[in-house]
Amino acid sequence: MKLVAKTFYGLEQVLANELKELGAKSIEPGNRVVEFSGDKELLYRSNLWLRTAISVLVPVHSFHFKDEDDFKRKLSEINFNKFMNVKRTFAVKGAVHSKQFSYTKYPMLLLKDSIVDFFNDKYGDRPTVDQKAPNVLFDLHISENNCTVSLNSSGAPLFQRGYRKSTGDAPLNEAVAAGLIYLSEWDKKSNFIDVFCGSGTLPIEAALMANGIPPQIARKYYSFMYWPDFDQMLWEQIYKSAPAMPKRELNFKIIGSDSDPDIILKARNNIKALPLGKTISFECRDFKDFNPPEGDGTLISNPPYGERMDDQDILDLYKEIGDFFKNNLPGYACWVLSSNFDAFKRIELKPSKKIQIYNGSLSCDFRKYDIFRGSLVEHKYGVKKS
């Protein structure tokens, strides 16, 4: 069957790679989506294993419509019994880009009405709409006069992993964090550090990857569990065969640190629900006092962007970040995510890569700084400068 995984801008290729690993076929990355094909088993495994997806959709009905009346008529032809029974709660979400509908929520209301009318006409009973936590979630996608109704198999977005109990003011989305780690090409064999870790999203996602544990290990519910064709045995088999224990020992360190003691408590609290054992640790310290573990590694951090800080303070902070990289992290690949382009300049190192990423609605750059041991000449030619 045809399946569609949704993701964030800039992570389409990363998600396509994840799908390839899972054995998906006919993988086609698009704009914030990746289309692929697979069976029910792949659908369940995608929900459990995809680290950079927001949701996995199953398109169930596509049609072309002429106008609003035609749209309503075509919705009324859908047999909603195939997707839910009247006792299930449901909701409709989606995206509408069409001159036919100036109010984009309107066609979603029409689909909702169509579902209610279908059950009312057939059974004299109406299913309840639950916007917050519906059992069955429909996705409506309209591009001009083309409409696709899909079932959202995930329900709540997949970045709601079930482990994060509390956060700071500006937590990174879990799926974006996982995407950044993939984009950094961290080898999962050397140290991983984040010296502005906040509630710990980046180190936690890194530790899940390094231990080969599915990102959704702590999550209990998906929308597909409420579908009439839910195969509980198949799901249990998939879930139980996923690793749920940390590897006994990692011969490198995964460390998050932050200067705020309250946020470090939150980060420590967040890993309680996860089987990560001693493979991750959190330290409370200013980044300038961070003592890197022995060996090479990757640093990924999203320092404050400046929303809550004075302009000059933020520029000084990024200058200190550049100095910290140069003086303390030889042998590291240091990656910084920020939307503050003036502050980036104060790092005073030449980035070897720049990738555009959205963190929520903020357009950010994800920049890589290679910190060589010794001079660049020594690194390039293996000789010492005389």
Ligand X SMILES: C[S@@+](CC[C@H](N)C(=O)[O-])C[C@H]1O[C@@H](n2cnc3c(N)ncnc32)[C@H](O)[C@@H]1O
Binding mask 182-221 for ligand X (x = CB under 6 A): -------------xxxxx-xx-------------------
Among 231, 260, 316, 348, binds ligand X (CB under 6 A): 260
Rounded to a whole number of angstroms, the minimum distance from the CB of residue 343 to ligand X is 12
Q: Indicate whether 287 belongs to the interface with ligand X (CB under 6 A).
A: yes
CA distance 365 to 52: 18
Report how far Cα 120 is from the mean position of its chain's Cα atoms: 38
Q: Indicate whether 67 belongs to the interface with ligand X (CB under 6 A).
A: no
CB neighbour list of residue 5: distance below 8 Å, 6 or more residues apart: 15, 19, 33, 34, 36, 46, 50, 53, 54, 55, 56, 57
Near ligand X in 263-282, by CB under 6 A: 263
Reading the block at residue 166, the tokens are 């509390």
Q: Indicate whether 168 belongs to the interface with ligand X (CB under 6 A).
A: yes
DSSP string, 304-327: --STTS-HHHHHHHHHHHHHHHHH
Between 155 and 303, name the residue whose CB sits nearer to ligand X: 303
Among 259, 269, 281, 328, binds ligand X (CB under 6 A): 259
315 neighbors 281 (Cβ within 8 angstroms)? no
DSSP string, 219-288: ----GGGGSTT--HHHHHHHHHTS--S--S--SS-EEEEES-HHHHHHHHHHGGGS--TTS-EEEES-GG
Binding mask 148-167 for ligand X (x = CB under 6 A): -------------------x
Rounded to a whole number of angstroms, the minimum distance from the CB of residue 335 to ligand X is 12
Rounded to a whole number of angstroms, the minimum distance from the CB of residue 70 to ligand X is 46
CA distance 93 to 139: 5
Given the rule CB under 6 A, which of 98-106, 122-130, 168-176, 345-353 is the region that contacts ligand X? Answer: 168-176
Among 258, 280, 329, 340, binds ligand X (CB under 6 A): 258
CA distance 288 to 116: 59
Instruction: State the residue for tokens 């916007």.
Output: 131
Between 34 and 210, name the residue whose CB sits nearer to ligand X: 210
Rounded to a whole number of angstroms, the minimum distance from the CB of residue 286 to ligand X is 4
CA distance 110 to 101: 11
Q: Indicate whether 29 belongs to the interface with ligand X (CB under 6 A).
A: no
Rounded to a whole number of angstroms, the minimum distance from the CB of residue 212 to ligand X is 22
Pairing of strands 353-359, 362-370: antiparallel
Among 302, 333, 339, 349, binds ligand X (CB under 6 A): 302
**271-280: b (≥16 Cβ within 10 Å) or e:** beebebeebb
Between 105 and 165, name the residue whose CB sits nearer to ligand X: 165
199 neighbors 267 (Cβ within 8 angstroms)? yes
Quote the DSSP letter at residue 289. G
Q: Indicate whether 328 belongs to the interface with ligand X (CB under 6 A).
A: no
- Considering CB under 6 A, how many residues would be counted as binding ligand X? 21
Between 42 and 329, name the residue whose CB sits nearer to ligand X: 329
DSSP string, 185-225: T--SSSEEEETT-TTTHHHHHHHHHHTT--TTTT----GGG
Q: Indicate whether 304 belongs to the interface with ligand X (CB under 6 A).
A: yes
Q: Indicate whether 170 belongs to the interface with ligand X (CB under 6 A).
A: yes
CA distance 83 to 224: 10
Rounded to a whole number of angstroms, the minimum distance from the CB of residue 192 to ligand X is 13
Between 75 and 202, name the residue whose CB sits nearer to ligand X: 202
Instruction: State the residue for tokens 């939150």.
Output: 266
Residue nearest to ligand X (CB): 198
Given the rule CB under 6 A, which of 49-57, 100-108, 125-133, 302-310 is the region that contacts ligand X? Answer: 302-310
Between 305 and 372, name the residue whose CB sits nearer to ligand X: 305
* 35 phi, psi to nearest 5 deg: -90, 145
- Which residues make up the interface to ligand X (CB under 6 A)? 167-168, 170-172, 195-199, 201-202, 258-260, 263, 286-287, 302-304
